[in-house]
Structure 1
Amino acid sequence: MKRRKYLNTYLATWDSAYSIGHEKVDQEHKKLFEIASKAYKCQNNKAELMSIIKELIKYTKFHFSNEENYMESIGYKNVEEHKSIHKEIVNKLNQLIKKLKTSSIEENIKELSDFINTNLLQHILLVDKKVHHTMKSREDLKKHFAWKNSYEVKNEKIDNEHKELFKLAIEALNYHDKDIKKHIKITINKLYEYMKYHFENEEKYMASIEYPHLKEHIAQHKKIINEMNSFIKSIPLLTLIDFERKLIEYIDIWLIGHIIYEDRKIVNENNSY
């Protein structure tokens, strides 16, 4: 089978799936994507591109300042680590400006796309969402823990398997009037086995379409499975509250982050050809 060629640039745009559940923060994240989208459309004007990237840097700093003030106001324990990540992101944007002077517009657009798709999107899905989780009560997290249509990757088989993962996680949380330890052991094992089954199916699909990042994606799957193994081993040492929080965090942050960031790339790139 002849290998498909894939697009060199793909820019993620704002999606409700990126919401962390804080209206002001979500609006500022949306604005960042809007500015990046303007830059992405500058195919022939280097001066305009530089101006928009400077606007992106300015707004990024504004947003990070607001976000850091918010984290400090709520006593978020990982605020200093979060600030360090913000500094790294701003530094990467500053480096992008420097490269503008010597690189072609095409190269700059590619680097901007990589920045948005990797640094910004991953930061929102994996780091910012943790802040939201920290501030929510266990009851509130459980109440809103559910599959959302905005998580879809637009591949029916993959989406159905993702929904099943959520269903099994929710089943593990519904232990009322049951032998709790036995229920958790059985349901978590079902979740673990189905996750491996799903990853195997997904990897076969990627191989069938000659997905160019198959090895990297398989490595991500192994990492998620290893994290699940660590979580399972820790369960006997966890309180019921901690078990619930960690399970919801595992699915709602790490797995959903993987679905939105990694799995969508498979479908987006395959559908481009």
Structure 2
Amino acid sequence: MAGIVWCSEYSINEKSLDKQHQELFKIVDEIDDFVKKVQNNFEKEDRDNFKSIIFKLFNYIKFHFKNEEEFMEKINFPFLEEHRRVHKELTNKTKNLLLVNDIDISSVIEQLSILTKSWILNHVCTEDILINNYLTRLIYTGESHYTLEQYINLKKMIANQDIEKEYQFFYICNCDLKIHRVPQSIHEELLKEKRYFRCPSCKEVLCLKEKITNKEETFEYFKKRFGNVKINKNF
């Protein structure tokens, strides 16, 4: 599994905040390495390292959230108050970990992983993207800023699991004989949050057709629907 790395897909097109997000990704990657190192063998000296790394995260998110909120005020961002509430919650969650004295390592490591990946990285990669959408006047939040492929890669990084092994759902667009395989967890997320993706080729919204479990079932579907046609197997 590759490390946690910021890339241009997560840019909000504001140079100073992008740099801060990159630094935040580095800190989270450092924490991820620490978690992997100690989760099965927590030594006495790891207690001080634990406090140090959480303190580093705590100070940086306070600094970053303050700058981000000032920028959102400057551009009259309509979701500023929602962002402030999330920032406060994340700051408090980090502070609570700092206040832990008697470390139950299994519980704390789990809390740390949830905080850094499911909360902080997810916030940067999904909610902060709305800032860029607002700046480009694409404020409707139903449409994903990412392509399906980019979003799958993002979820794999945050969840630290191969979601492509999940049951797959069959989505189509306006491209001839093209399918988009959507993992079950993302499919359920789209339905719950009423969000959607567009095909990067035809620019049309991806529409649900049916569930599939493997390519053989897909070929059978095309055969029944289109007869003996040449099918591109590189989907």
Which range, TM-score by smaller chain?
0.5 to 0.7
Assess if the C-alpha contact under 8 Å between 1:12 and 1:116 holds in 2. no
The aligned residue for residue 90 of structure 1 is: 91
Assess if the C-alpha contact under 8 Å between 1:46 and 1:105 holds in 2. no
Determine helix, strand or coil for the equivalent of 2:76.
coil
Q: Which has the higher strand share?
A: 2
The residue correspondences of 1:236-255 to structure 2 (distance < 5 A) are none
Assess if the C-alpha contact under 8 Å between 1:13 and 1:34 holds in 2. yes
Q: 1:83: Cα distance to partner?
A: 0.8
The aligned residue for residue 73 of structure 1 is: 74
- Consecutive unaligned residues of structure 2, counting only runs of 5 or more, are 139-144, 157-161, 200-205, 207-235
- Consecutive unaligned residues of structure 1, counting only runs of 5 or more, are 1-9, 139-144, 169-186, 204-215, 229-245, 249-254, 256-273
The aligned residue for residue 15 of structure 2 is: 23
The residue correspondences of 1:227-266 to structure 2 (distance < 5 A) are 227=195
Q: 1:60: Cα distance to partner?
A: 0.3
> CA 1:91–1:152 in structure 2 vs 1: closer, same or farther (change >3 Å)?
closer
Q: 1:221: Cα distance to partner?
A: 4.3
Partner amino acid, structure 2, of 1:133: N
2:181 is aligned, of 189, 194, 198, to 198
Q: 1:49: Cα distance to partner?
A: 1.2
Determine helix, strand or coil for the equivalent of 1:46.
helix
Q: Which has the higher helix share?
A: 1
Q: Alpha-carbon deviations, 1:166-208, whole Å to 9, x = none?
A: xx4xxxxxxxxxxxxxxxxxx6xx8xxx88x734xx34xxxxx
Q: Alpha-carbon deviations, 1:236-255, whole Å to 9, x = none?
A: xxxxxxxxxx979xxxxxx9
Assess if the C-alpha contact under 8 Å between 1:15 and 1:150 holds in 2. no
> CA 1:46–1:11 in structure 2 vs 1: closer, same or farther (change >3 Å)?
farther
Q: 1:117: Cα distance to partner?
A: 1.2
Segments of 4+ in structure 1 off by > 4 A?
145-152
Determine helix, strand or coil for the equivalent of 1:13.
coil
Assess if the C-alpha contact under 8 Å between 2:11 and 2:18 holds in 1. yes
Q: Distance in 2 between matches of 1:148 and 1:51?
A: 37
Assess if the C-alpha contact under 8 Å between 2:5 and 2:29 holds in 1. no
Determine helix, strand or coil for the equivalent of 2:99.
helix
Partner amino acid, structure 1, of 2:56: E
Q: 1:137: Cα distance to partner?
A: 4.6
Whose RCO is larger (CA < 8 A, sep 6+)? 1
The aligned residue for residue 24 of structure 2 is: 32
The aligned residue for residue 52 of structure 2 is: 51
